[in-house]
Structure 1
Amino acid sequence: MTINLTGSNDDVEATDALARTGDDQDQMSRGRLTMAWYGTASAFFFVYIGAAMASAYGTVNAIIGIVLTIIAYGLINSVLSRYAINNRTTVAQFSRTILGNAGSAIAMIIFALIAIYYAVFEGSIVAYAFMTAFGGEMWVWSLVVVIYSTPLIIGGVRRFLDKINGILMPIYFFGLVAAVIWAGVQYGFSDAWITHAPEAPVPLSMGGPGWLATFAGYMGVWIMMMFTMDFASLGKRKDIAYHQRVTFGPLFYVLAYGFSAFVGIFLTFTIPGIEASETGLAGGLVSLMGVLGLIVVIATQTRINTANYFLGAANLRAFGEKVFKINMPNIVWVLLSSVIIFLFMLLPVVEYLLIALAWQGVLVTAWVAIALTHILLGRWQNEEHSAIGDQHYKAFNNNGLVAWVVATLVGIVMLQLGAFNPDLAGIGATWGPILTAVSAALVYGILWKTNPVSRTGLIKVVGA
């Protein structure tokens, strides 16, 4: 596909040709990228959400919903990762195509804030584990967590991080296996965790079967799709098939969602008095295993928080440079995001987890549905040109913005059903994310067909 732009046509075409035919020497090897990405699998949040779904809807329903989630995530991220690797495009760069240059700033700040939110949340778990083990004040341990986490994403330390992630991976996996065995030996193995069922729910209040509610609940974590694009943009084109299957495919989610959910469900219904909350599970792990439990929590959270800190700082920088024209060294943006993270850690963020997931789920789910629709309707064509400067993109691409606004409004209305009638809260929670994704894809697809001139987001396409 040859694209000519108004303005520096030769430079853009030459740069684009180089991007398409250049070698992969500056990209990450498959092993390093896989290890870096698999660090996100160790979020203690994944242990919690599986337990929360089983507590709410029953273990069998939770398992069915998680299996469907693994399949859906694997398929969607297979598409997104292939596109991101082929075009070496990040969320910020891709958003210029579907939302326009100025519109992409919205996606950047949302992505930055969500990554920072997760860094706050996961960091709070480590701080809580420290406090459980050693006592003291939460703010002190929060400061400790931020101080040791920040250097892990600065400059040359990221090379050291590859080695650290290699060490932490088995600690995470075998640590959680040890926790299951330890809890079973101490409190007894039973079938309570697999047979748990909720009290007879009112169908209207649930909004559908429990497995569908579980599937919709995991849609609140579709931010992983945006994480996928940013990580996949670092991969080599020759490794696309490998990354689709192994790095970003279903195998990853079997570990991240399947294995973690099993651990969370088992511990919740085996350890007496434990709460199905992330702090409850982390505290229970430390209380059960002592220092070994603390090491497991630190290992899991350190791995995921390197991704949170990195993506939060990177997108905050992209937003600052695009909107406010502020150009500062990367280390300044890293330190700035770390300060923001620490300040937010002083707030009771954990208490508002489910509310935050619901609201971010609306924005992110709509973005992912639009991105997926754009890629599939383009029949895998290389339309995203990461080497092209911002000046070549429209300020706003009405196709994507209209679809995003419509889908977001649909999602918000569904979330607010419970405010009008508490009996409808379950319907909003279950169907809100689903209808958000469907409406975003439908509206964008219709606009794609009826307004083809805006498909690429470029100022002017002379020939194609």
Structure 2
Amino acid sequence: MSLNLTGSNDDVEATDAMAREGNDDDQMGRGSLSMAWYGVASAFFFVYIGAAMAVAYGTVDALIGLVLAIVSYWLINAVLSKYAINNRTTVAQFSRTILGTTGSTIATIIFALVAIYYAVFEGSIIAYAFMAMFGGEMWMWSLVVVLYSTPLVFGGARRFIDKLNGWLMPIYFFGLVAAVVWAGVVYGFSDTWITHDVGPVPFAMGGPGWLATFAGYMGIWIMMMYTMDYAALGKRKDITFHQNITFGWLFYALAYGFAAFVGIFLTFTIPGVEVSETGLAGGMVSMMGVLGLLVIWVSQTRINTANYYLGAANLQAFGERLRIKLPSVVWLIITAVIVYLLMLLPIVQYLLIALAYQGVLVTAWVSIAVTHIVLSKRRREEHAAIGDHHYRAFNSNGLIAWIVGTVVGLVFLQFGTINPDLAGVGATWGPILTVVLSAAVYAILWRTNPSSRTGLIRVVNE
């Protein structure tokens, strides 16, 4: 069969057939994939960010922004997960279409570094909790965390952990419920956590608190990229299930909604607790002892299996683009070494800054990806079976849109440096304008430069 994959309408049906060929036998079942993905829900960071937003903007505004964030995540991931499952395509493979092979290398390394950053961050929380419980030094506990986490990502061990995650989930869930009850019994139940109000939000904040909260959650749109890599492992017959349950509203109601409720309650109930991830973790360990440590260890270990796996997988993809061929286990060890070295630095202190900058890069990519999928919904140009040599080195459509959106977002982030009174304006509107401009520019180029729609340059013979 000879397929012209340059975007001709005459070949849509043939391309669709190729995208659907093969069966689902080698893909993960809905239960296994859901259990693997729900390990991501237990990031203690989600507890922290909900509390931070409530402290900054008031509980009611924070909850409104949170609901809007959950809905937006659900809708966007419904598009990305369906496409990834249908085409069995990862972020690295899909990026070849919108950015070209060389351009996709940039997206791949950004994904790898962000996943590594989260591995560092979440690992630091475990190390901090161990230190709070048993004493010692952070470097020692950091080493312990890396040494036990790395083997969990090896082939057979990772599959075992993916299955175990389903059983560990109740420990995380009921552990946080116990923390809420414990804090209420010890320090008293009150309505302070739900009535906290900061008053009228000044212009310097960039808009109402709910909008600032919504923009804050855009800083972790890296979850969209996580979704695509995980969804590529699913069966096509389970698409609807994964759109709603695995990667949809239920997941984010738990990961963001439930976690935010816990974080807000603990912050306004435990006296003197610092509104930071380490502060909340330390507060739980101080209050609950071994049980608090167990909840933190379980939750952070679950999320870090995903961080290590995706960090190593995308680092490997980046290396292979540079013609560096190494076994997967070597890339995992390299990832672990990088994680440990970064854990020795005070990286937790720079969480919000890092989120803002990586958020601009990631939201621009997500905006372009969704726009491409929506505009090409009748086509199936992208498929994992297509080799790199069939793609352009650079796809001008995607690169121009990505650069425009990213530059605007980064400029807005500098507002706070230029004038501290405008920091809120930059933080709120930077990611929003990044998404809007990236999508708009890509859509315009899609219409005016059709030859670059697919990123493909030649005929594929099968």
TM above 0.5, yes or no, is yes
Kept in 2, the 8 Å contact 1:50–1:260? The answer is: yes
Greater mean deviation of Cα atoms: 153-162 or 312-321: 153-162
Kept in 2, the 8 Å contact 1:16–1:387? The answer is: no
Partner Cα separation in structure 1 for residue 262 and residue 5 of structure 2: 54
Structure 1 length as normaliser, TM-score? 0.96
Alignment size in residue pairs = 455
**How much does 1:183 deviate?**
0.3
Partner of 2:83: 83
Q: 2:308 aligned with 1:309, yes or no?
A: yes
Kept in 1, the 8 Å contact 2:187–2:269? The answer is: yes
- Letter in structure 2 aligned against 1:128: Y
Partner of 1:10: none
> What secondary structure does 1:256 align onto?
helix
Deviations 1:410-464 (A, max 9, x none): 000100011121111111010000000000000000000000110000014699x
Partner Cα separation in structure 2 for residue 390 and residue 15 of structure 1: 17
Partner of 1:370: 368
Choose from 424, 427, 430 the match for 1:429.
427
1:362–1:221 CA distance, 2 compared to 1 (3 A): same
Partner of 1:382: 380
- Written as runs of structure 1 = structure 2, the 5 A alignment for 1:11-410 is 17=17, 19-198=19-198, 200-202=200-202, 204-323=203-322, 325-410=323-408
Identity over aligned residues, as a percent?
74
Partner Cα separation in structure 2 for residue 287 and residue 444 of structure 1: 51
Kept in 1, the 8 Å contact 2:51–2:260? The answer is: yes
Choose from 437, 451, 454 the match for 1:453.
451
Partner Cα separation in structure 1 for residue 311 and residue 340 of structure 2: 13
Structure 2 length as normaliser, TM-score? 0.96
Deviations 1:135-168 (A, max 9, x none): 0000000000001110111021122212321221
> What secondary structure does 1:274 align onto?
coil
Deviations 1:104-139 (A, max 9, x none): 000000000000000000000000000000000000
**How much does 1:15 deviate?**
10
Kept in 1, the 8 Å contact 2:392–2:456? The answer is: yes
Q: Which sections of structure 2, spanning at least 5 residues, go unmatched?
A: 7-12
Kept in 1, the 8 Å contact 2:36–2:163? The answer is: no
Deviations 1:161-214 (A, max 9, x none): 123212210000000000000000000000000001125542x21110000000
Kept in 2, the 8 Å contact 1:16–1:385? The answer is: no
Partner Cα separation in structure 2 for residue 70 and residue 301 of structure 1: 22
Partner Cα separation in structure 2 for residue 305 and residue 121 of structure 1: 10
Partner Cα separation in structure 2 for residue 119 and residue 30 of structure 1: 26
Deviations 1:216-270 (A, max 9, x none): 0000000000000000000000100110111011111000000000000000000
Kept in 1, the 8 Å contact 2:201–2:208? The answer is: no
Kept in 2, the 8 Å contact 1:206–1:426? The answer is: yes
